[in-house]
Amino acid sequence: MTHTLKTWQKPSITPHQLGTLNKFGRPVGGDYVEKIDGVAVDDLLRDYGSPLFVLSEKRLRDNIRQLKRAFESRYQPVIHAWSYKTNYLNAVCATLHQEGSWAEVVSAFEYEKARALGVPASRILFNGPHKKRAILERCVKEGARIHIDNLDELYLLDAIARELDIFTSVTIRLNFETGYTEAWSRFGFNLESGAAFDAAIRIGNSSHLKLRGLHSHVGTFILDTRAYQVEVEKLCDFMELIEQQAHALIDSLDIGGGFASQNAVQGLYLPTEQVVPTMSQYADAICSTLITKTAQREAQGKPRLTLILESGRAVVDDAEVLISSVVGSKRLPDGRASYIMDAGVNLLFTAFWYNHKVKPTRSLQGIAEETVLYGPLCMNIDIVRQSISLPPLSVGDSLVISPVGAYNNTQWLQFIEYRPAIVMVHENGEVSVIRRAENLADINSFESLPDHLNGQFNFSE
Ligand SMILES: Cc1ncc(COP(=O)(O)O)c(C=O)c1O
């Protein structure tokens, strides 16, 4: 007797699609976005082309104000340091610096960008695992706060501070288990192994380095506020230990970023509104723990700690959308509708882990059906949405994809296509180009062609 084994298939669970038949019939028309902050999408596409990124200055300012209000109404002083890697468009950084945010940078490039924009070094926090001597020297001379990542960096920084004879206040980055997040043990000094204590002792023995800050960033898109309670508890306990044993007097606790935005992470069953904590819930968890943990310290007359936040995605994600147009349609062999869009994962890196909202710019007629949205790249994984319920679209129809403000304009690829323009809609309704579209001259400007390769191409007749 022969047995034929069934092919194993990965089990999956998917929420019901909106827009398909239900007891009330099928919805028609549906939700659509005609304007962004009062400016017609059609006008934006006419003036700046498709695809197009559109930033809302108002939303960005509202978001950062809401974050600051949530924290400052519970604890003071609070500093927000803008995480450049999340979105380092000058217009975004400048808006946030106008709102009082400092800069949080992780490379020589980001440091130079912040300085060129006019941020004083004393308002820059320098994180990250890669800092070469030249940039460390510049930071020491200019007085930026360096967050030390590893022992080699610690020794190098100590040597630089001694050579320059500059007393340098530093922060160390810590990593540890919270029980609610995956431990990012590759960044900073581990608490449980004793590496963090060892680093604090070494700084305590330095003639030129002064340990003033503790930092950790326990993950991103953190949905459980208890992770932050544990983080603050661990930072405070460690602070007590090193203040007693390592000649440190800590002035600030930097809890990193990680607050979730209203974006739908793939694989998350419930809608984001039900799972993403509000800014008040994050602030409650963090500030109440901090107040409790530092009460005794303050009673002893020690100075109040500054709470530093490096929130990135929660501040910028929903302040930006991507408008993309349909350039072709195709019925797939399995019956699904599919469309080719002029923007794909080259512009929307976050499509790999989010199910972005996709809304048409007019009321669509017809029956919604399961649809795949492809990008323009010759690459099988160039998918904007794997499965979305949409009525039929035509070539030239545009779709508004959101939220896209976090990590797309920094992680995008100049791959196959030019990168398009980015505009900002200001609070008075005016629109500015904050990054123009790329062209061939831009891209060729990085290259040089050796003389013997210039021309004389040998094509057969
Ligand atoms: C050190 C540090 N701070 C802040 C952030 C911003 O994180 P988020 O966008 O999750 O708030 C990151 C992101 O990776 C980070 O590495």
For residue 309, report the distance from its CA to the centre of ligand 1, in Å.
Answer: 10
For residue 257, report the distance from its CA to the centre of ligand 1, in Å.
Answer: 5
pLDDT of amino acid 182? 87
Mutate to test the pocket of ligand 1, among 85, 181, 184, 221 (most ligand atoms within 8 A of CB): 85
pLDDT of amino acid 13? 60
What are the pLDDT digits (tens) for 407-439?
999 999 999 999 999 999 999 999 999 999 999
Alpha-helical regions (H) of 271-354:
272-275, 279-299, 313-316
Going from the N-terminus, what domains does the chain have, and what CATH number goes with each? 35-54+318-439 (2.40.37.10), 127-311 (3.20.20.10)
CA 376, CA 326: separation in Å to the nearest integer?
Answer: 10
- The vertex-104 CA angle with 67 and 174, nearest 5°, equals 95
pTM attached to this predicted model = 0.94
- The one-letter amino acid code at 246 reads A
| Residues in contact with ligand 1 (CB, 6 Å cut-off) | 83, 86, 104, 127, 217, 220, 256-259, 310-314, 406
Q: Are strands 431-435 and 422-425 parallel, antiparallel or unpaired?
A: antiparallel
Q: Are strands 357-360 and 306-309 parallel, antiparallel or unpaired?
A: unpaired
For residue 400, report the distance from its CA to the centre of ligand 1, in Å.
Answer: 26
CA 145, CA 128: separation in Å to the nearest integer?
Answer: 12
pLDDT of amino acid 125? 98
For residue 285, name the pLDDT band (cuts at 50, 70, 90). Answer: very high
User: Is the pLDDT assigned to residue 154 strictly greater than 70?
Assistant: yes
For residue 258, report the distance from its CA to the centre of ligand 1, in Å.
Answer: 6
For residue 1, name the pLDDT band (cuts at 50, 70, 90). Answer: low
Contacts of 375 (CB under 8 A, 6+ apart): 340, 341, 343, 344, 345, 346, 347, 348, 351, 382, 383, 384
Residue 258 in contact with residue 222, Cβ under 8 Å? Answer: yes
For residue 7, name the pLDDT band (cuts at 50, 70, 90). Answer: confident
What are the pLDDT digits (tens) for 73-117?
999 999 999 999 999 999 999 999 999 999 999 999 999 999 999
CA 178, CA 185: separation in Å to the nearest integer?
Answer: 12
CA 254, CA 78: separation in Å to the nearest integer?
Answer: 10
User: Is the pLDDT assigned to residue 26 strictly greater than 70?
Assistant: no
Whose C-alpha lies nearest to ligand 1, atom 5? 257
| Strand ranges for 216-348 from DSSP E | 252-254, 306-309, 320-331, 337-341
What are the pLDDT digits (tens) for 202-223?
999 999 999 999 999 999 999 9
For residue 4, name the pLDDT band (cuts at 50, 70, 90). Answer: confident
Q: Which residue has the higher pLDDT, 152 or 270?
A: 152
